[in-house]
Structure 1
Amino acid sequence: MFEPRGAYTFGHRLHEGSGTKMQFHFVDEMKMPVAIQTWEIEPGGYEGMHAHESHELALEEFYLVLAGSASMHVGDTVHELSIGDSVLAPAGIQHDLRNTGDELLRVLVVWGEAGEKNFSRFGSVGKARAARASSVL
């Protein structure tokens, strides 16, 4: 299956935030238990502060900046983001993404229910864990 960039975009307002241009990738075709979306947020735009509480649907959200710059509040922490930076917003934690730059912010967002997974049989998992253990941030 192939889905070209921008082929199925639509406008959407998230969590009382500003308008977002969104592409919900493979919305009916993908069988993985996650949603994969590309968002475009204009300068000054924002997602809106929110949390996905466990009594509703306990969702985790992963954000990866593809273009532009942003500020992301996750709980009491603020992260300044640029291309290639990523943030994980755990279920139940307040968070908000804001375009703080002068250009369009493009982010890849993957979200789904929090739960357990085990990818340890793949060699890249061990290497990823080793890289994290030896990294000094």
Structure 2
Amino acid sequence: MQTKTPITKNSKFKPISPDLHADPSARVFKDRLYVYVSNDTEGARNWSKMVNWSVLSTDDMVSWKDHGIIFDLDDITWADKEAWAPDCIELDGKYYFYFPAAANIGVAVSDSPEGPFTDLLKRPLIERSEAGID
């Protein structure tokens, strides 16, 4: 039988953030690990209340920096709900942040993996064609 060790303040198991994050996507840029996350709204009971994205980073897997909100649904005109499951890539010194929102997929750009990001196309990169969440 497997027993689970509870996570306590003095536990060796420490979460990287006390906040309500979901859908992590991990990338390494310039020897630093970045974890892009969507943020749950406290008290929400479904994903339609997820309204922004954040990034956390580390270079030693022990000390984590929360860079805060890097992109928000308020930053785009074509969606107002369902901000989840982000990812980010680097190409030629620019960072491209891909994100689902309102059943579409968008792309934002920044000069830094820490953001802030701006909506690159001012419209979805991929528009909803059939029902689904991703």
**TM-score, length-scaled by structure 2:** 0.27
Structure with the bigger percentage of helix? 1
**TM-score, length-scaled by structure 1:** 0.26
Larger RCO (CA within 8 A; separation ≥ 6): 1
